[in-house]
Amino acid sequence: MSQPPQRIVIATRRSPLALWQAGYVKARLEALHAGLRAELLPLSTRGDELAGAALAQAGGKGLFVLELEAALADSRAALAVHSMKDVPVELSAGYRIAAITAREDPRDAFVSAGHADLGALPAGSTVGTSSLRRQAQIAARHPGLVVRPLRGNIETRLAKLERGEYAAIVLAAAGLKRLGLEGRIRSFLSPEECLPAPGQGALGIECLAARGEIAALAAPLADADADVCVRAERQVNRALGGSCTIPLAAYAERTGGELRLRALVASPDGRRVARAEATGDPAQPEALGERTARLLRERGADRILADLKS
């Protein structure tokens, strides 16, 4: 194996949240490896450039990683930092996730100027969200609300709320907390109210599969609990086709010596929801994800998925 480098470049998206996340990884790496100097390479991704389009229509989660992977391929960067919920379940050939970091709060957060939670919103109120997963779950529990797409970085979304374009917005709690904006959160949505996305709150550190010395640098940042939970969650998505165009949620937790996994597939209007829950061996997270996906299919997920494709 090659000797560990003394300087590395970390590819990242340009958004304030992405820069915070990459800066966090940079600081951790420099603290762990004496003499190592890390630099950030901010890049604009296709997903950022299409901020006005719905993610599912624009081409999916890969839009946020392709430019970063290109920087790895042509040696402009050695590592890339991603939000794991934005990483496709099938990585491009020749790449690997070297580490999944300790997870920040995986819940969704309710943000509003005048209301405490979703239940306090008057019928007909407009709620903004960036994901079909949230849209479906909000519609299922609060059919009187109007859910509209909301894209852009966190600051852009908050500005749209402040301009009165929405009565409330729902964002990932992790991003708000990382940017020091936890004070904007009026309430948290429990997993029972809105099940999180696979990988939500966890960071993934990617490198070329052939760069063993780079993977070894990142390995100490890995968190064992986050790793098994995210792997189980992502396997549900993989087993159901790996698409970001379906309202799918999956959330795993370590409970004692077991891994508990909850998942759902829904129609975008929330009128049909297939739910499943299973527990299994933390040493076999993918097997638990496969079993949970089978339960979802038995409970109607196949019919929902077929209708979405028609």
State the catalytic residues. 86
CB 174 within 8 A of CB 200: yes
CB 137 within 8 A of CB 249: yes
Q: Which amino acid is at 91?
A: L
Q: Is the dihedral of CA 144, 150, 153, 159 positive or negative?
A: negative
Q: How far apart are CA 52 and CA 151, in angstroms?
A: 6
CB 10 within 8 A of CB 80: yes
The Cβ of residue 145 has, within 10 Å, a number of other Cβ atoms equal to 20
Return the closest-CA partner of residue 204 out of 56, 103, 285, 289. 103
Q: Which amino acid is at 139?
A: A
Which letter does DSSP use for residue 190 in this model? P
Q: How far apart are CA 18 and CA 244, in angstroms?
A: 20
Q: Which amino acid is at 108?
A: D
State CA 140 to chain mean position distance: 21
Q: Is 295 left (phi over 0), alpha (psi -120 to 50) or beta?
A: alpha
Q: How far apart are CA 262 and CA 74, in angstroms?
A: 39
Residue partners of 290: CB distance under 8 A and separation at least 6: 235, 239
Q: What is the DSSP string of 219-239?
A: GGG--HHHHHHHHHHHHHHHH
CB 295 within 8 A of CB 256: no
